[in-house]
Amino acid sequence: MDLPTLQDNRSDDHLSARIPWDTFTVLLELSAKLFAVASQLGFMFQTVRSGNHGIIFAALCVAKPLIENFARQHMWSMPRVVEATNTDYLRMRSLKSLESNEYRLDILSGNLIQYIITEFRNARKRLGEISTDYPETQYYNKSSPTTGLIASFVGDFPLMYYVAISLLKPSSISLATIASLQQSAILLRWLFWDVFYQADSLRRDISRIQHLYDLEKANPIIKDGDVHYPPENHSDKGMALELNHVLFSYPGSKEDKKALDGVSFRIEPGELIVIVGANGSGKSTFVKLLTRLYDVNSGTIIVDGQDIRRYKLSDLRKSIATLSQDHLLFPLSVEENIGLGYPEAMTDMGLVNKAVEMGGAQEILKKLNNGLKTVLDPLSIQYGSSVQEGDGTELAAALKQLKKKVEVSGGERQRIVAARTFMRFNSNQIKFVAVDEPSSALDPEGELQLFNNLRQKRAGKTMIFVTHRFGHLTKHADKILCMKDGKVAEYGSHAELLTRKGEYYKMYNIQAQAFENVPSGP
């Protein structure tokens, strides 16, 4: 049988429906339902009392849903493939998916909450009157007029029956009036439901996104400050940072398990700092505290002369750019993924293309059929029902085709994320750049290029790089910070630390020897 592919334009309100409604809405919904039930019961009671015709009528009323269901039954057992194609609906779903915890770091550090909410609202507005029914219901209404006609005829049969009787026996006119009352009650009930559910769903969707990224609620340890950043006395060279006797354990970890244990360190505006150290030595934690993803347990972090906790979080975030392996691509187009580095200039293709180049993502774009417009990891709504993958049918082939995704490697993703960071620099507000091992998925050439490009953007910015690989970066560092067991083991320039023959010297030599021992060619 040649079955069309269904299209799914639904909004995602079945998820929102899990959120408790406010009391007023619930009471109204309940009253509407009670009203409908009461009128239905009263009507049936009257009809049963009115004799044989009444009993037949009541029986038909009871049978009505069964008859309707029978008329539609075969729709639900039909093999089908469903695909959502409405771009606004898909965009709404994609934006809504960003509330998931995995994107939290990117959304917070990129200060993107408002952008997401505005875009969600716009997509919802554009979706407008498009039906939010289940695709099967839509399909039923659109493509099965005959079945629909039969179902609605048999569904209305009790009423028609009674109207006929009341015409033949005009003395029963009052019951006919009750019949129309019953119809109005059902209509009214749907009206109530529709009005309140629809009006409430947008508010609920938006407030869910807002709440999730409301830092106060998500992480009560972080409190917003009230001082604007940058302060008047800030340096043009970049952010000045100072840690004084910082102690920090991750929430939930054992009390004696300190990720940072009494760290004191000063970073001058515009310096390039490289942090090295063994796994678990506290390098990333250092960066997380400086970007205020967490607050210290004791000690202080001073930024441009004031405690970091005194500044407004949104101001701080506007001044900081981060790049790490933890960043994810959003289920949006590559262009938007990069543009979100600086949403205000999202449509400036000159800036987006420059960011692509700096992030080293040009080659990837050449491979993508839709270039910048390609959505990697699209949030798609596709499913098959009564269709077995690989069963050789046309629908199974269609389902397989729908599930195909554009595949890019980890290193290629990393380059797109890097392009987003370069886009962010265009805001001209960045004073501190924290780069935490972004190069683990990159080949050596890609890594060198990335470091060089980041260094090119040093003007007006303090930069911290966390790395396991010595060489390219450590030689350019103003200071190298060598961490061990949550403490600063030593710090100084590459040359100084080599002369000191301490921890850094040891780690550097392990890597250097690996290269020296490579047998030379014939």
Interacting residue ranges for ligand ATP, rule: CB under 6 A: 250, 253, 259, 277, 279-285
Minimum distance from residue 86 beta carbon to ligand ATP (Å): 39
Nearer to ligand ATP by C-beta: 192 or 294?
A: 294
Q: Work out the end-to-end distance of the chain between its first and last CA atoms, rounded to an integer number of angstroms.
A: 68
CA distance 349 to 346: 8
Minimum distance from residue 126 beta carbon to ligand ATP (Å): 39
CA distance 184 to 32: 11
* SS3 of residue 145 by DSSP: helix
Nearer to ligand ATP by C-beta: 425 or 504?
A: 504
Nearer to ligand ATP by C-beta: 298 or 386?
A: 298
Nearer to ligand ATP by C-beta: 460 or 502?
A: 502
Q: What DSSP string describes 361-421?
A: -HHHHHHSTTGGG-BSS----EEEES--TTSSSHHHHHHHHHT------HHHHHHHHHHHH
Minimum distance from residue 250 beta carbon to ligand ATP (Å): 3
Nearer to ligand ATP by C-beta: 91 or 283?
A: 283
Minimum distance from residue 477 beta carbon to ligand ATP (Å): 17
Minimum distance from residue 87 beta carbon to ligand ATP (Å): 37
Nearer to ligand ATP by C-beta: 70 or 250?
A: 250
- Tokens representing residue 442 in the block: 């990159």
Sequence-distant (6+) residues with CB within 8 A of 265 are 242, 243, 481, 488, 491
* SS3 of residue 409 by DSSP: coil
- Tokens representing residue 98 in the block: 């960003």
CA distance 506 to 516: 15
Provide the angle, in degrees to the nearest 10, between the axes of the packed helices 349-359 and 444-456.
130
Nearer to ligand ATP by C-beta: 416 or 507?
A: 507
Minimum distance from residue 280 beta carbon to ligand ATP (Å): 4
Minimum distance from residue 259 beta carbon to ligand ATP (Å): 3
Helix, strand, coil percentages (3-state) for the chain, rounded to 5, are: 55, 15, 30
